[in-house]
Amino acid sequence: MLPPNPILQPNSLPDAMLLAGTGGLLDAIVYLNHGHVFANAMTGNVIFLGIATLGRNWHDIIPHLVPIVGFLAGVTGSKHLRSGYRYSAPLGLAFEILALFVLGSLSSGFPSMIFTFIIAFVSAFQVASFRRVERFAFNSTFITGNLRDLVEGLYEALTPSATPEAREQGRAQAINLGLICLCFLVGAIIGAWVAPRFANHALWLAEPLLIVVFLRVLRRIRNAPAPTPQTT
């Protein structure tokens, strides 16, 4: 029996940047084309859900609740895969790649709630499986924590009283997370431009980014030593 497989870490900076670009791209496309609901930013969906509930705007409650449920289901599925499957990370990416290809081929008349549920579900595999870049925690689908850690790293790098090791680590943290935040922003800008022009086909722009990460992760897993079976 194989032991629970840890999340593949550390993830490389190029992987993290590509995933962050995908996160910004998907959120912008889904938000603009599918009823102002976020694909990944569950904080925004919870806020809109709370506003709709307080205002008794029942028409908006379910559309914002659906992606939250999809996200929770996706995290559960990701956890199940990671608990005993060596290739859980690339398999989760494969789910996302396939889902985006299919959804990108659908017409604009496809029900938005089903659409956002699927996007939130497969995106949850990405956010749950990729949590570290080098020595630092990061998130590829929202950037609040990334911005916080960026500023803290920059502060540490510029503090004269800090040790050289702490300043170097702070500098690396600020650079890594700064690049990730920048890629998220670029992805969101591109998503905002393509969403009204290409409708659901705009999702296909995320495919090359995810495929590159998929191949890189798959290669790293194949080159890594297999986990030693545990005996009971």
The domains of the chain are located at 13-216
User: If you average pLDDT over every residue of the chain, what do you get?
Assistant: 87
In percent, the amount of the chain with pLDDT more than 70 equals: 92
Q: pLDDT (tens digit, 9 = 90+) per residue, 136-179? A: 888 888 888 899 999 999 999 999 888 989 999 999 999 999 99
Task: Check residue 35 and give its pLDDT.
Answer: 85
| d(C-alpha 96, C-alpha 217), whole Å | 14
CATH class of 13-216: mainly alpha
**Buried (b) or exposed (e) across 158-197, using 16+ Cβ within 10 A?**
eeeeeeeeebebbebbbebbbbbbebbeebbebbbebbee
What integer is the mean pLDDT of 11-33?
A: 92
Task: Check residue 5 and give its pLDDT.
Answer: 41
**Model confidence at 6: pLDDT above 50:** no
| d(C-alpha 27, C-alpha 189), whole Å | 10
- For 16, the token pair is 């993290």
Query: Among candidates 112, 11, 30, which has minimal Cα distance to 66?
Result: 112
**Model confidence at 231: pLDDT above 80:** no
Q: Is 187 helix (H, G, I), strand (E, B) or coil?
A: helix
Neighbours of 75 (CB within 10 A): 17
Lowest mean pLDDT among 1-5, 67-71, 127-131, 203-207: 1-5
Is the peptide bond preceding residue 227 cis, with omega within 30 degrees of 0? no
| Residue 25: pLDDT band with limits 50, 70, 90 | very high
| d(C-alpha 109, C-alpha 207), whole Å | 22
Task: Check residue 7 and give its pLDDT.
Answer: 43
| d(C-alpha 117, C-alpha 99), whole Å | 11
Task: Check residue 204 and give its pLDDT.
Answer: 96
CA atoms within 13 A on the CB side of 165: 0
Q: Tokens 């990701």 appear where?
A: 78
In this structure, the strands spanning 136-137 and 132-133 are antiparallel
Task: Check residue 168 and give its pLDDT.
Answer: 92
**Model confidence at 46: pLDDT above 70:** yes
Q: pLDDT (tens digit, 9 = 90+) per residue, 51-65? A: 989 888 888 888 889
**Model confidence at 8: pLDDT above 70:** no
Highest mean pLDDT among 51-55, 188-192, 218-222: 188-192
> Model pTM?
0.87
Q: Is 216 helix (H, G, I), strand (E, B) or coil?
A: helix
| d(C-alpha 80, C-alpha 108), whole Å | 33
Q: Cα dist. 89→23, 60, 71, 99 in Å?
A: 16, 34, 17, 16
- For 187, the token pair is 């992805």
